[in-house]
Amino acid sequence: MPASSQTRPRLLRQMNERSVVRVLQQHGPCSRADMTRKLGVTAPTISKAVSSLLRGRLLEEFDSKQDGVGRPARQLRLATETAQVIGVVIDAQHCHLVSAGLDGQLLSESLCQFETPKTYRGLISKVVKCFEQLTGGRGLEPLGIETLGLGISMPGLIDYRQQKGLLSPNVPITNGQSLARDLTERLGIDCVMLQEAHSLCLAQHHYGESRGIDNFVMLDIGAGLGMGVMAGGRVLTGHSGLAGELGHLPRVSNGRACGCGKRGCLETVSCDSALAWLVSQRIGRTVGIDEIVQLTQTGELSVEDEIEQVLPHLSFAISAVISLYNPSKIFICGRMFDLHEGLFEKLLSEVAASTLAPAFADCEIVRASVSKSQGAVAGIIEYLTDSLVPGVDGLFARTKDSSSEPSAETKSRLTTK
């Protein structure tokens, strides 16, 4: 039989498996009969796909509660009791790891955090130690929960083709490093890196209050000014993953030095850390945004002058995003608007004044309902889902020399199902 004749049925089977996972991600648990109706395929086709996914531990089957008489209907769900994934959040000051089921729900008791190390080797060591605390060892938790992969959310420029950090002004120890590749070698499971704004996009798309929206922008205004764009249900990454670096557009001539090596970048004047820097300069000691929020809410500190300096720059950034991308929504992730009630509304007024009226009227601006932890988890789940169809042109599209090639463990799981 020609190779192409053998490849088509296998590819069709893999696509059916991914479709089953997508239905459960979008609609939650359902029966085989429900799955058949939603996908419009035959019952035997669903049965084969489900059996393969059960063997791969991506799915679980359970008895649903049912009123009245009769046997409870068997339901399918994304694995939550037999498998987990790990999310790693790398940030300027602190890092943390969490675990979650394949449905993306974080396990609140599974949190390991530490101060961001000064060296890359120290970062690897800390992540490995926390991973072992959450899993009990090399990918296998003592109670028999298999760890299928690890997603890393981190700031800066990431080359998705090579899974390599190129430039992170806020976490420079990752520059030129492939944290995902190195952790894959140490842990023996699939590990992938995502730019933090891109991971937040995935989390908002799958788990946010407005889940399912296919065209929106995510602005992360924490340590810097990061942007992720969801277009047609896909994260816009550009040629090699560098799209969305709004924060490093020049904004202030001869302004404050940015971690990227230039001066006056937009993120030096428009985000939480920019506000914190201004406050620190005034009071004579270094304070972070969390402490500023706390002191402001207790009445011990007023930051109105600093807000008046930062808000116009953030307004400019949002106006530019609306004009360039015409999104249905813009989600903003940051702490600044916890300072006091009315600050977010003030921002909206400034954006309205500087944006073309029809474009502003067609865009809803809201605060994000998801976290970076959810973003890291969403990233590895997206990777595992795309890996069901090798070579798929997804967020983690692979080239021949790419280090995002599935691990031996995943290849085995995919080829032996």
**Tokens describing residue 305:** 């002058």
pLDDT at 408 over 50: yes
Where does a domain end: 63, 78, 93? 78
Q: Which CATH number goes with the domain that contains 45? A: 1.10.10.10
Q: Confidence band (pLDDT; 50, 70, 90) for 358? A: very high
pLDDT at 138 over 50: no
Q: What is the dihedral of CA 307, 309, 310, 313, to 10 degrees?
A: 140
Number of domains in the chain: 3
Where does a domain end: 78, 108, 125? 78
Q: Which CATH number goes with the domain that contains 224? A: 3.30.420.40
- The reported pLDDT for the residue numbered 400 is 35
Spatial separation of the C-alpha atoms in residues 55 and 62, rounded to whole Å: 15
Where does a domain end: 78, 108, 139? 78
The predicted-structure confidence for 168-204, as pLDDT tens digits, reads as follows: 988 999 999 999 999 999 999 999 999 999 999 999 9
334 plus 278 within the same structural domain: yes
- The reported pLDDT for the residue numbered 107 is 86
Whether the CA torsion 293, 222, 85, 394 is positive or negative: it is positive
- The reported pLDDT for the residue numbered 68 is 54
145 plus 109 within the same structural domain: yes
63 plus 128 within the same structural domain: no
Place of tokens 């764009």: 229
- The reported pLDDT for the residue numbered 341 is 87
Whether the CA torsion 118, 124, 125, 130 is positive or negative: it is positive
Spatial separation of the C-alpha atoms in residues 21 and 102, rounded to whole Å: 10
**Tokens describing residue 96:** 């943390």
179 plus 224 within the same structural domain: no
Q: Confidence band (pLDDT; 50, 70, 90) for 410? A: low
382 plus 344 within the same structural domain: no
113 plus 156 within the same structural domain: yes
The chain-wide mean pLDDT, for the chain, equals 88
Range(s) of the domain holding residue 163: 83-201+372-416
The predicted-structure confidence for 306-321, as pLDDT tens digits, reads as follows: 999 999 999 999 999 9
67 plus 88 within the same structural domain: no
- State the SS3 of 359-370: HHHCCEEEECCC
- State the SS3 of 55-112: HCCCEEEEECCCCCCCCCCEEEEECCCCEEEEEEEECCCEEEEEEECCCCCEEEEEEE
pLDDT at 67 over 60: no
Q: Up-side HSE of residue 342: CA atoms within 13 Å toward CB?
A: 2
74 plus 87 within the same structural domain: no
pLDDT at 141 over 80: no
pLDDT at 409 over 70: no
Percent with pLDDT over 90 in the chain: 71
242 plus 161 within the same structural domain: no
171 plus 93 within the same structural domain: yes
pLDDT at 86 over 70: yes
177 plus 240 within the same structural domain: no
Q: Confidence band (pLDDT; 50, 70, 90) for 140? A: very low
The predicted-structure confidence for 194-234, as pLDDT tens digits, reads as follows: 999 999 999 999 988 767 788 999 999 998 999 999 998 88
257 plus 404 within the same structural domain: no
Greater pLDDT, 64 or 282: 282
- The reported pLDDT for the residue numbered 412 is 52
- The reported pLDDT for the residue numbered 407 is 57
